[in-house]
A = this chain, B = another copy of it.
């Protein structure tokens, strides 16, 4: 029920709700024991994924190294005539034939290996009083701190307890591009229209946020929110400092949502001048201030 990924270091059984990483240069083959399957794949060049330094979170939390599982050595002996290897080089595919299995590695050591991770083992952190934070796994950083070749982020089941706070993701423009998918359940910031197996892409500096329905429902009770628990959901995000190019297959898909922007139609200002003790005209007179 899942994928069998054969690699030179052994075989990984990857079930729905798990992720797997195959490092650069590995031979692998994927078997679908249950017939058709559906999932999300990202390929990066230039860096390996790594867990973030936990910083002030300290020793425990987010993704623990011990939950990343590598396979036991496994190998195939004997003749396998006309075994075809497909290799990607310089963006093109090449084939070679050989008469033995590439999965003939009897034993290995080191930590350059394929591995998998069950997303349910993630221990999310967030504010436990007020305000809004980012429960993310930051991975595969580029050379500039704070900018990533590809971050992998999840939105797992968790308690929401922030008080006097708009709890869904706030409206923002991002210097990175966000590709989002939903594995199962419902996503908190889109009241309708974002189904498991779907995906959204918000490119670099394109403003976005919750849909109108979610916004209005949330803002109405922002000062009276008890703890609530999100359950039975798993969304994720690929977030990249690079701008992804969308392929023809996706642009011409019958499932492309041409009306996506409509989810924000009807958003209106809730701002009230009450409590501001200056007119806008007075503000205009004020001079600029030093930025320390």
Contacts and interface: CB of A to CB of B under 8 A. Distances in A.
Interface of A: 10-13, 24-25, 47, 52-62, 65-75, 77, 87, 89-90, 100, 104, 106, 109, 111, 113, 115-116, 123-138, 143-144, 156-161, 173, 175, 203-206, 227, 243, 269, 271, 273, 280, 283-284, 286-292
B160 A128 contact: yes
Per DSSP, chain A at the interface is loop
B109 A129 contact: no
A283 B129 CA distance: 36
Nearest to A62: B56
A89 B159 contact: no
A227 B128 CA distance: 11
B289 A72 contact: yes
Contacts of A130: 123
Contact of A288 (B12, B128, B286): B12
13 contacts: A25-B205, A55-B57, A56-B62, A56-B134, A57-B57, A58-B134, A65-B292, A69-B289, A72-B287, A73-B283, A89-B203, A115-B291, A124-B127
